Structure 1
Amino acid sequence: MKKYFYEIKFFIFMRILCDGIMALSVAALPALQKKLFDLITGKVINTNSFLTIVVIYVICLLGAVIFCYFSMIFSWKAGLNFEQSLKSDFFKSIFSSRYENFSAKDAGEYISIQGNDITALDQDYLTPLIDIIQAANKIIIFGVFLFVNVDWRISTVILLGSILTIMIPKWASKPLATKRNAYLNQMGVYVSKIKDFLEGFKVIQSRTRKSINREHEKALVTTKNMRFEYGKFKCLTMALEHLSLSCVSAIAFIIVSILLLKHEITIGTCLAAFGYINVFIEPINDFMYDLNSVSSLKMTKEKVLSYLKEVPNDELKVKKQFNSDIVFDNVAFEYNNFSLSGVSCRFEKGKKYALIGHNGSGKSTLINMLMSYMTEASGTIKIDGENISSLDTAQIMYCLNQNEHIFSDDFMNNATVFSSYSESDVNKVTDNLKMKIVDVVKSQNNSQQLSGGEKQVLGIIRMLTANTEICLMDEPFSAIDVKTTELLENTLLNIEEKTIIMVTHKLSKNLDKFDEVILMDSGKIVQKGTFEEISKTEEYKKIQMVQA
């Protein structure tokens, strides 16, 4: 967290400076009131002294207002920069994490941390933390003015009583933090639910609407109850703080009254004492409230920082050129009820490969392990003799998924991934793909509104724009019509310099365009060879019968 405080140190310093000047201005007011009343109740009224006190009083009032305004401006600037920096680093950390780590949580939880937890750190951690320094400054300044301008007995009672009240936040901090963390975690669950329901909008109709509303209501009520539990305990601690401070004010009031009745203090001192009781108690109250806020965010702060500590592995060697082959050597992988075992195969540079087999046979798993979305349990995967776990392969390898994500943006930002790839390369690709569907894809302002097949065409344009030597494709034509599929497939397979590994469920004569067909079943490679060789095997005929 030090990094983020350092980035806004200027705004914090200016805020504290402005608060200090404002506190001096406010602390001077009761002292001036005392001098004014002592002057008026005296035997001789000095007109010049009277006017001087009034002018200084007005200047102090104006000074308090002006520096209060600047204090708030610097506070806003510090908070906004703090939140921006945290959110920026949070997303950089998430985007740099391994897919396995990222997919362990629902996207809604990340959204909740970004929208709720980090905002809470700004509003209920950073701001109160600065306010604690401000309150401490006020306590020191008001304390000095109190002892200088008011009877020491009154000052001592106010000071000691205020110090005792500071023990309340310390008692309440741990349970308050636990309750707040539980509420924020539940908020993450609720956001995930909302995201899930909205993404499944097509499923919501007259028969399902009531049940989905009921599920939403359950999540909403649980979230509300957890927030209430947190709020109820927070109200209790605040009430106890107000009670303790009210007791201090009452005791000070009684002592002032007794001393005034005994004529041991003047009316001016009495008035100043009442003024300082109010201005001194206020920062004590702020101090306790802010201390509770900071304490309640302890677990949230640790959770957010745990993400920011996940620094991407910069030690990975950037692979810039594909020279010879990809080799799977006795690779095994297990996940839930699925297992991949004893997979050994070789993909040569420039050749085209088709992976076929039943659903769940392990075809997509091979692709996912090549992309490091999954990590093999045993065995090795090597590119040009180097272990894939030590490589950054983004420069040489691109994976096109069946449901490739399309952003809610225009064609060019989708094709270039927001200028990650060259626009000129996009134009070259689209010029070579002379199809009406490409024109339709290019004309849509919001690419999310494209049909399933059109989105897949956009995904293929994006892959070709990335211009990698290795193209991995997982059912890339599943939503595209037969004619367009044939045109696109021919275009891809005729690019000599590209190594293509394609997962496909379509068993047709088009498979003879591939250099090698790999047939998988139950997590194993059962046959591999040319289509002519594979098509004669019993395993291939079984798959044909199932699809028929």
Structure 2
Amino acid sequence: MDENIKKIIPFAQKYKSHVVWNVIHNILYALFGTIGMVMIFPVLKVLFNNEEKITQLPTYQGFKHIDSYLNDTLFYYVNYFSETYGQNYALLLTVSLVVITFLFKNLFGYLGLQHMTKIKTGVLRDLRAKMFKKIIELPIPYYSEKRKGDVMARMLGDVNEVQNSFFMVLELIVKEPLTIIFALIAMINISWKLTLFVFVFIPISGFIISKIGKSLKSKSTKAQQENGYLISVVEETLSGLKVVKSYNAEKYFSNTFTNSINRLYTLTNSIGKKNNLASPMSEFLGIVVISILLFYGGNLVLVDKSLDGSLFIAYIGLAYNILTPAKAISKASYQVKNGLAAAERVFEVLEFENSITDKETALNLKSFENEIHLKNITFSYEDDPVLKNFSLTIPKGKTVALVGQSGSGKSTIANLLTRFYEVNDGEILIDNHNIKDITMESLRNLTGLVTQDSIMFNGTISDNIKLGLTEATDEDVINALKIANAFEFVEKLPNGIHTNIGDSGNKLSGGQKQRLSIARAVLKNPPIMILDEATSALDTESEKFVQVALENMMQNRTSIVIAHRLSTIQKADKIVVMQSGKIVEQGSHEELIALNGTYTRLVNMQSFE
């Protein structure tokens, strides 16, 4: 059994009652399908007026003789109706039995499909839920290597392909094979010589069809990877549409997209060609066998007189009845290969080992009492270290500002403090607890983060601000907005705090979004505040108002301020000047100015600007 099928089984076990009922109904579907074809035989007997004359109701002699018992019982009643009411009543009886048999066949087919639908939609729901849980649990470094569009394609397209293709396995191992098996049993009872041809046909047909679909899985994998790339191009283009338009780069992105859809077009056509060939190929092979059966069986009927003509017609009906499931099996086997390729991509994400997780003994830290200590930290995103043997102590209630040129490692410290990334060497301690020994939930409950990018979600202003404190009231939201100097513009909006701000907050200006980000952190009210270029998107006037608000908010609160504009951190208790991942100077604004070193040079450069 394929490994990916084994991985799907635990998801299906939750719906095992539906699986059992699906199997039962499929067995009955196959059984009544065969009985329906066999029932054509007595109809033909009545039509040609050569039905068996059985005048006594047969006696049941055990399951071994069930076929002759049922046959004799049927012909007893056919004979009875013919003699009592006329042949038209006998014909009505046999035709009615055919109709009832096929009614049961289709009823059980419907019930089987109903249970299959519940299995498929249930597993789809559970897979998507687990997939989404996994993708938001995966560490930030995972997404710096993977395209978001590819992850989206796996969650939406590939999971859907698993649902559509995988559960055809139940059809492959129960419904269609049993239809073939029951038909073959009936055919052997009619003529074992004729049935030998069918036994030859099945393996030959299977061999030819498997040869056609040999490379299907690898091509399906390539097509799904290309589909992920395609979604990535669309997602990136829409996210950066202003840049695309301002640089007249529409043609470049259109070419990128066109190249991708052309590659997908070629792959899909190649897959489709093989998929489309399976059904007609199996049908043609079946018709070849039926033609041989017609020739050989016709001789048995017309020349040898060893086979009844009515039985032979019923036999051909049974033989043709094998073609439909044979086609379904060949088509389903191809689709299962598509499903295997999709499942491989889904489980690649689900089984990705998250390197940043809570220890089993992790402590749920409720409060922050003393200090944060970064002790001999070394960290690199790839090969070159961003921080080198970096040490810093941040006492409770103090504001420490990190300044320096771009690439000096300031924002990296914010990433490490929130445990978005793990340190390579050294340790980060909060009240002498290594943050690796603290649950991530409690660590992030202690910290508030305002990032350089004002990340907003499609929804109301209230929804965006209450992200970290969902039980907050409208009054709490308004107070947070006032502190962040944002209420003045919010109250002028059509629905105030209940105004929808659009996708990524695109109905607001950059400065307005930044103030809402600050309000979100204010409402959460954590003991440790991390401000990563928090005022970078504000105009000069707004910056002054927000700066006062931030200073009020940061009183008696531990704050790590990563700043580009040095004018915003002059009142910090300690300013740490960084260069190439190391501390080159630290002290208050006045102390650093007196040193007349790197900090003074940075201040003079900004003053000149």
The question of a shared fold, defined as TM-score above 0.5 by the shorter chain, is answered with: yes
The answer on 1:522 being equivalent to 2:529 is: no
The answer on 1:29 being equivalent to 2:29 is: no
- Does the 8 Å CA contact 2:575/2:589 hold for their aligned counterparts? yes
Among 182, 201, 218, the residue aligned to 1:178 = 218
Q: CA deviation at 1:545?
A: 3.7
- Does the 8 Å CA contact 2:35/2:101 hold for their aligned counterparts? yes
Query: Aligned letter for 2:202?
Result: S
Equivalent-residue separation in structure 2 for 1:280 and 1:103 (angstroms): 53
Among 416, 426, 442, the residue aligned to 2:497 = 442
The answer on 1:38 being equivalent to 2:97 is: no
The answer on 1:19 being equivalent to 2:74 is: no
The answer on 1:270 being equivalent to 2:304 is: no
* Equivalent in the alignment of 2:133: 92
SS of residue matched to 2:419? coil
Equivalent-residue separation in structure 1 for 2:353 and 2:448 (angstroms): 23
Farther off after superposition, 325-334 or 227-236: 227-236
Equivalent-residue separation in structure 2 for 1:384 and 1:171 (angstroms): 66
The answer on 1:301 being equivalent to 2:343 is: yes
Q: 1:234 to 1:59 in 2, by over 3 A?
A: closer
Query: Aligned letter for 2:299?
Result: I
The answer on 1:411 being equivalent to 2:461 is: yes
Farther off after superposition, 150-159 or 359-368: 150-159
Q: CA deviation at 1:236?
A: 4.7
Q: CA deviation at 1:486?
A: 2.8
Equivalent-residue separation in structure 1 for 2:411 and 2:471 (angstroms): 26
Q: How does 1:343-422 map to 2 (within 5 A)?
A: 343-391=390-438, 392=440, 393-417=443-467, 420=470, 422=472
Farther off after superposition, 480-489 or 379-388: 480-489
Equivalent-residue separation in structure 2 for 1:190 and 1:129 (angstroms): 32
Q: CA deviation at 1:62?
A: 2.4
* Equivalent in the alignment of 2:15: 8
* Equivalent in the alignment of 2:286: 245
The answer on 1:502 being equivalent to 2:543 is: no
- Does the 8 Å CA contact 1:318/1:395 hold for their aligned counterparts? no
Q: CA deviation at 1:105?
A: 0.7
- Does the 8 Å CA contact 1:93/1:311 hold for their aligned counterparts? no
The answer on 1:192 being equivalent to 2:232 is: yes
Query: Aligned letter for 1:483?
Result: E
Query: Aligned letter for 2:418?
Result: M
* Equivalent in the alignment of 1:58: 99
Q: CA deviation at 1:307?
A: 2.0
Query: Aligned letter for 1:325?
Result: E
* Equivalent in the alignment of 2:379: 333
- Does the 8 Å CA contact 2:377/2:388 hold for their aligned counterparts? yes
Q: 1:183 to 1:507 in 2, by over 3 A?
A: same
Q: CA deviation at 1:493?
A: 2.7
Equivalent-residue separation in structure 1 for 2:371 and 2:50 (angstroms): 105
Equivalent-residue separation in structure 2 for 1:358 and 1:133 (angstroms): 68
Equivalent-residue separation in structure 1 for 2:185 and 2:351 (angstroms): 44
Equivalent-residue separation in structure 2 for 1:205 and 1:541 (angstroms): 40
- Does the 8 Å CA contact 1:4/1:82 hold for their aligned counterparts? yes
Farther off after superposition, 461-470 or 336-345: 336-345
Among 537, 543, 548, the residue aligned to 1:485 = 543
- Whichever of the two has the greater Rg, that structure is 2
1:9-41 deviation line (CA, Å, top 9, x unaligned): 233333333333332332222211111112332
Query: Aligned letter for 1:412?
Result: S
Q: How does 1:46-125 map to 2 (within 5 A)?
A: 46=82, 47=87, 49-125=90-166
**TM norm structure 2:** 0.83
Equivalent-residue separation in structure 2 for 1:168 and 1:385 (angstroms): 69
Farther off after superposition, 307-316 or 387-396: 307-316
* Equivalent in the alignment of 2:368: 322
* Equivalent in the alignment of 1:255: 296
- Does the 8 Å CA contact 2:29/2:105 hold for their aligned counterparts? yes
Query: Aligned letter for 2:528?
Result: I
- Does the 8 Å CA contact 1:183/1:223 hold for their aligned counterparts? yes
Q: State the identity as a percent.
A: 22
Q: CA deviation at 1:475?
A: 0.8
Farther off after superposition, 56-65 or 264-273: 56-65
1:237-259 deviation line (CA, Å, top 9, x unaligned): 55544443333333323322222
Equivalent-residue separation in structure 2 for 1:4 and 1:169 (angstroms): 30
Q: 1:41 to 1:511 in 2, by over 3 A?
A: closer
Equivalent-residue separation in structure 1 for 2:292 and 2:482 (angstroms): 86
SS of residue matched to 1:335? coil
- Does the 8 Å CA contact 2:469/2:524 hold for their aligned counterparts? no
* Equivalent in the alignment of 2:389: 342
Q: CA deviation at 1:121?
A: 0.5
* Equivalent in the alignment of 1:292: 334
Q: CA deviation at 1:118?
A: 0.7
- Does the 8 Å CA contact 1:11/1:78 hold for their aligned counterparts? yes
Equivalent-residue separation in structure 2 for 1:319 and 1:437 (angstroms): 38
Equivalent-residue separation in structure 2 for 1:418 and 1:143 (angstroms): 66
Q: 1:413 to 1:253 in 2, by over 3 A?
A: farther
1:216-244 deviation line (CA, Å, top 9, x unaligned): 21121122122223233444555544443
Q: 1:433 to 1:92 in 2, by over 3 A?
A: same
* Equivalent in the alignment of 1:467: 525
Q: CA deviation at 1:311?
A: 6.9
- Does the 8 Å CA contact 1:518/1:529 hold for their aligned counterparts? yes
Q: CA deviation at 1:350?
A: 1.4
1:499-542 deviation line (CA, Å, top 9, x unaligned): 1111111122x423211111112221111111111223321122
1:283-321 deviation line (CA, Å, top 9, x unaligned): 122122222322343233233123223476353433322
Q: CA deviation at 1:264?
A: 1.8
Unaligned runs of 5+ in 2: 1-7, 52-78
**TM norm structure 1:** 0.92
The structure showing larger relative contact order (alpha-carbon pairs under 8 Å, at least 6 residues apart) is 1
- RMSD (Å), alpha carbons: 2.5
Equivalent-residue separation in structure 2 for 1:503 and 1:264 (angstroms): 97
Equivalent-residue separation in structure 1 for 2:279 and 2:38 (angstroms): 30
Query: Aligned letter for 2:404?
Result: G
1:124-162 deviation line (CA, Å, top 9, x unaligned): 2223544542212222332333333x2122223223422
- Does the 8 Å CA contact 2:27/2:174 hold for their aligned counterparts? no
- Does the 8 Å CA contact 2:480/2:523 hold for their aligned counterparts? yes
SS of residue matched to 1:479? coil
1:181-228 deviation line (CA, Å, top 9, x unaligned): 011111111111111112222134494333332222112112212222
Q: How does 1:139-150 map to 2 (within 5 A)?
A: 139-148=180-189, 150=190
1:386-436 deviation line (CA, Å, top 9, x unaligned): 222333212212322111321111122212239745346435524655640
Equivalent-residue separation in structure 2 for 1:203 and 1:503 (angstroms): 27
Query: Aligned letter for 2:488?
Result: K
- Does the 8 Å CA contact 2:150/2:232 hold for their aligned counterparts? yes
Q: 1:412 to 1:294 in 2, by over 3 A?
A: same
* Equivalent in the alignment of 2:600: 541
Q: 1:109 to 1:43 in 2, by over 3 A?
A: closer
Farther off after superposition, 58-67 or 347-356: 58-67
SS of residue matched to 2:575? strand
* Equivalent in the alignment of 2:509: 451
SS of residue matched to 2:389? strand
1:102-131 deviation line (CA, Å, top 9, x unaligned): 332111111111121111111122235445
SS of residue matched to 2:32? helix
